[in-house]
Amino acid sequence: MEIKDIKNAKIKAWVEEIKAMCEPDAVYVCDGSQEEYDRLMKKCVDAGLATPLNKDKKPNSFLFRSLPSDVARVEGRTFISSVKQDDAGPTNNWIDPKELKETMKGLYKGCMHGRTMYVIPFCMGPLGSPISKNGIEITDSEYVVLNMDIMTRAGKKVLDVIGENGEFVPCLHSVGKPLNNGEKDNGIWPCADVEHKYISQFPEEHLIWSYGSGYGGNALLGKKCFALRIATVLAREEGWLAEHMLILKLTNPKGEVKYVTGAFPSACGKTNLAMLIPTIPGWKVETIGDDIAWMKFGKDGRLYAINPEAGFFGVAPGTSDQSNKNALISASSNTIFTNCALTEDGDVWWEGIGYPAKGDLIDWKGNKRPALAKDKSPKGEEFAHPNARFTAPAKQCPCIAPEWEDPNGVPISAILFGGRRPSTVPLVHQSRDWNHGVFLGSIVGSEITAASTIDASQVGKIRRDPFAILPFCGYNMGDYFQHWINIGKNAPDQSKLPKIFYVNWFRKDDNNPDLPGGFMWPGYGDNSRVLAWIFDRCDGKDNADDTAIGFMPKAGAINTDGLANYYKKTLPEITKVDKEGWLKEIKDIRENHYPKFGKHLPKELSEQLDILEKNLSK
């Protein structure tokens, strides 16, 4: 398709404006067809940027390797460029929008020399859903087009939905590597130096500009940039929720169904929970989404959620048959792999995959090395980058729920928060009411370990990630907390609001030699035991005690049939209130966490902290 084929005058004018600034060799409007996908992938293969995988191992799948300088989100180069710095808040990087646009326009000028400018119409959510939003991404990267084709509903069908007058979020991206005087990439991943990378959101204009990175959420602008940073702004303006949450469908042995969302910081088992295989008979878990949930009130007063994405952009290392068999099956064909290792027989491999590789491997940097006799490597010597990814169509997930593309969304009964906490926080507890639940979301965090930091002085401290959305909120986090409180206050029917829970699969006792890894709970499929308790709580079942921190499971309320004896012995310990631990938690929140938000911290959250302290002193 060409620019002249665009019927929407506003889109056409914007595309012409960007063309004049970026000066590409050609402009192509993506139609989203299979022929287009195959042609662009062949272009990447021919250019030495993509490697076809063994058709018997991974049909229609390809491996890309980035530059070592372009392997992940770059939070230090990510900006919320609101008109007022105070509106960006203390947890976001800010630059004045006039200054930032001036800088970026200088970088964008002529940045697409020697490249094709692709125009990607895309929809976040099922086409035609009242909860979905449309966007147009302009990019000079075939890799981005290919990934966006998997991660979103993209192409001509979206232009048809937008029509002549529909709204869209403009998203501009360039790898920042012009090819002048007949230059070629020569198989080298194109990107700019770190100091020239900018991932910029302009909240008042609902506008995204990204420059210099070709990787993941820096370049696939429908993902974190739109689906969270801009969507959180839209949600506050329009009275809904845009959240960094999985969505799962839970069916009990009687065939009754509930839908649950959950927010977890990275490395806390979020995708694993979304695709969980239950260990208790008769229960079933199906996936609606693994990363992002958009929720709006339906006509019946309940919150309804959609997954705005059409694919999974999953972290590969650590994904195995044990941790997430369904994710492996999802990525078994029609998948793009990035920064994984390549085996001798043309398959991909990564640390934690569950089996050692045979023969030599080509690591993520393109070096040939002999495989190890195990599936782990010393830190810094990994064959696959720790943030290596797979981009797989959600429809390929064996546990994808039939409702995952329902334009009306699914009604949410429970919201889960969780973090990696080796002490203090119990296996599960439930908030008493909505504001107490918002309080629990506001204090989400994970304990810093020696494995996760190079600063030994930080070990044991809590890295707070409220609502698991800290890097992705498009405005002041204190105002975000207030928005959640307002959602509860203004709900059409407060009795229909989801119940809110806090879970922690990561309690440890390193002195117990019986416990694998020292963990007091097995996690993975056995988390279905906790989900079953939560399911019953949503139905009002009297299976909980009212404690100082909220409702907790009564003795015997969590199904332990078939559970290893050593976990049966630790269960009482991880389902009781650690009074001293919680008093330390309160002190940390008062001194180190809540003060960051100043006058923007809602008084309701300070009141919840006071209530918790009072309860613990009884």
Asked whether the beta carbons of 333 and 59 are under 8 A apart, the reply is yes
Q: Which domain CATH number covers 44?
A: 3.40.449.10
pLDDT tens by residue, 547-601: 999 999 999 999 999 999 999 999 999 999 999 999 999 999 999 999 999 999 9
| Domain membership flag for residue 405 | yes
Same domain (yes/no): 322, 378: yes
Whole-number pLDDT of residue 46: 97
Q: Are strands 311-315 and 389-393 parallel, antiparallel or unpaired?
A: antiparallel
DSSP 189: P
Nearest to 259 by CA among 440, 408, 421: 408
Catalytic residues: 268
CA dihedral (429, 434, 435, 436) in degrees, to 10, reads: -10
Radius of gyration of the chain (CA): 24
With 90 as the cut, is the pLDDT of residue 451 above it? no
Residues pairing with 104 in the sheet = none
Q: Name the strand (E) or helix (H) holding 535.
A: helix 528-538
Same domain (yes/no): 405, 541: yes
| Domain membership flag for residue 66 | no
| Domain membership flag for residue 68 | no
In whole angstroms, what is the distance from residue 448 CA to residue 536 CA? 33
Maximum C-alpha span of the chain: 76
* Complete edge-to-edge strand list for the sheet that includes strand 348-349: 348-349, 341-343, 360-362, 368-370
Average pLDDT of the chain? Answer: 96
What pLDDT band is residue 618 in, cutting at 50, 70 and 90? Answer: confident
From 214, 238, 262, the end of a domain falls on 238
CB contact set of 479 (below 8 Å; sequence gap of 6+): 87, 89, 236, 600
- Residue 305's φ and ψ, nearest 5 degrees, are -120, 145
Alpha-helical runs (H) found in 109-155: 142-151
Looking up tokens 């390797």, which residue turns up? 65
DSSP 190: P
In whole angstroms, what is the distance from residue 518 CA to residue 422 CA? 10
pLDDT tens by residue, 471-524: 999 999 999 999 999 999 999 999 999 999 999 999 999 999 999 999 999 999
Same domain (yes/no): 416, 560: yes
Structural domain count of the chain: 3
Whole-number pLDDT of residue 456: 60
CA dihedral (391, 395, 399, 403) in degrees, to 10, reads: 130
What pLDDT band is residue 1 in, cutting at 50, 70 and 90? Answer: confident
Same domain (yes/no): 115, 199: yes
The distance in angstroms from the start CA to the end CA of the chain is 70
Residues pairing with 338 in the sheet = 64, 389
Q: How far is CA 41 from CA 212, 254, 496, 564, in A?
A: 21, 47, 47, 48
Same domain (yes/no): 39, 185: yes
| Domain membership flag for residue 328 | yes
Q: Which domain CATH number covers 527?
A: 3.90.228.20
| Domain membership flag for residue 65 | no
In whole angstroms, what is the distance from residue 248 CA to residue 568 CA? 27
What stretches of 1-99 adopt beta strand conformation (E)? 26-29, 50-52, 62-64, 78-80
Print the domain residue range for 365: 312-396
pLDDT tens by residue, 217-243: 999 999 999 999 999 999 999 999 999
What pLDDT band is residue 267 in, cutting at 50, 70 and 90? Answer: confident
Asked whether the beta carbons of 225 and 209 are under 8 A apart, the reply is no
**Mean pLDDT confidence for 360-373:** 95
Whole-number pLDDT of residue 67: 97
| Domain membership flag for residue 59 | no
Same domain (yes/no): 207, 174: yes
Same domain (yes/no): 293, 343: no
What pLDDT band is residue 374 in, cutting at 50, 70 and 90? Answer: confident
| Domain membership flag for residue 573 | yes
Same domain (yes/no): 295, 326: no
> Under the phi-then-psi rule, with left for phi > 0, alpha for psi from -120 to 50, and beta for the rest, what region is 459?
beta
Tokens found for residue 179: 């090819």
Same domain (yes/no): 507, 591: yes
pLDDT tens by residue, 124-175: 999 999 999 999 999 999 999 999 999 999 999 999 999 999 999 999 999 9
From 333, 364, 396, the end of a domain falls on 396
Q: Which domain CATH number covers 362?
A: 2.170.8.10
pLDDT tens by residue, 86-136: 999 999 999 999 999 999 999 999 999 999 999 999 999 999 999 999 999
In whole angstroms, what is the distance from residue 547 CA to residue 261 CA? 24
- Residue 504's φ and ψ, nearest 5 degrees, are -150, 105
Q: Name the strand (E) or helix (H) holding 141.
A: none
In whole angstroms, what is the distance from residue 62 CA to residue 334 CA? 8
Residues pairing with 418 in the sheet = 503
Neighbours of 477 (CB within 10 A): 23
- Using alpha carbons only, give the angle 120, 125, 129 rounded to the nearest 5 degrees: 115
From 340, 368, 396, the end of a domain falls on 396
Whole-number pLDDT of residue 461: 85
Q: How far is CA 168 from CA 153, 292, 425, in A?
A: 14, 19, 42
Whole-number pLDDT of residue 419: 95
Same domain (yes/no): 443, 381: no
Same domain (yes/no): 277, 323: no
Looking up tokens 């078994």, which residue turns up? 332
Whole-number pLDDT of residue 268: 85
Same domain (yes/no): 147, 208: yes
In whole angstroms, what is the distance from residue 64 CA to residue 366 CA? 10
Global pTM value: 0.97
Neighbours of 354 (CB within 10 A): 14
| Domain membership flag for residue 61 | no
Neighbours of 545 (CB within 10 A): 16
In whole angstroms, what is the distance from residue 226 CA to residue 229 CA? 6
What pLDDT band is residue 349 in, cutting at 50, 70 and 90? Answer: very high
